[in-house]
Amino acid sequence: MTSALFIIDVQNDFTEGGALGVSGGAAVAAGVTRLLEEHPERYDHVFASRDWHDGDNDNGGHFHAQPDYVDTWPVHCVAGTPGAQYHPALDDELVDIHVRKGQGRPAYSIFEGVTDEGETLPEALDRLGVTDIDVVGIATDYCVLASALDGLDSGHRVRVLTDLVAGVAPESSEAALVRLQSAGAQLTTGLTG
């Protein structure tokens, strides 16, 4: 068994005060850091994804002046801007592999991204022999959902750490967790107390 932690989009624009900030985002950032500091041997590999959108186009219709907040969104996480950076409470020194997604197109799942070295996520997982994936991050009802479903679809054992995710809305977040559980993901917690 080779384990990986997926930290999904714990970025300034998705935390409180950001362009698409969700309630509890900063707490997720701090909680993930705490998890990795208190349990340094828990994961063989730690991946972190970031939306990394182009600033000079609508990213395949992802950005819209009048967003519907389902398929279109306000400008967020533009490459190289403060909003695209990891939240400061997330210690990125604890991350082994950084994944950028959404470069010029809509992208929700970490599986749609590439590493800083240009490797696709499936290539990296295969190279490292990853079998088990824990998923944390933002947002439960969008990118966490998409990433965990893709993990299951690619044949991995997937757990979602429900105390280390934050969503856009309570109802859609709860529906996402129900969907993940019915798809085969295990729901558990990452921190104890």
**Tokens read off for 89:** 């409470």
- What DSSP assignment string belongs to 131-154? -EEEEEEE-IIIIIHHHHHHHHHT
Q: Which residue has the tokens 């992208």?
A: 107
Q: What is residue 55's predicted lDDT score, i.e. its pLDDT? A: 93
Average pLDDT by stretches of 10, the chain with 193 residues: 97 97 97 96 97 95 92 95 98 98 94 96 97 98 98 98 96 97 96 64
What is the model's pTM?
0.96
> Do the Cβ atoms of 28 and 136 come closer than 8 Å?
yes
Locus of tokens 């709860």: 174
pLDDT of residue 191: 85
Q: Identify the pLDDT of residue 192.
A: 63
In this predicted model, what pLDDT tens digit does every residue of 2-13 receive, in sequence order? Answer: 999 999 999 999
Q: What is the pLDDT of residue 193?
A: 45
Q: What percent of the chain has pLDDT over 70?
A: 99
Give the DSSP H or E segment for 173: helix 170-183
State whether residue 50 is helix, strand or coil: strand
- Under a CB-based contact definition with an 8 Å cutoff, are residues 151 and 158 in contact? yes
Among residues 82, 87, 86, 68, the alpha carbon closest in space to that of 168 is found at 68
Residue 27: strand, helix, or coil = helix
Catalytic residues: 9, 101, 143
- For residues 113 and 77, give the distance between their C-alpha atoms in angstroms, rounded to a whole number: 14
Q: Which fold has domain 3-188?
A: Rossmann fold (3.40.50)
Ranges of beta strands (E only) in the chain are 3-8, 45-51, 97-101, 114-115, 132-138, 157-166, 186-188
Residue that the structure tokens 């609508």 belong to: 58
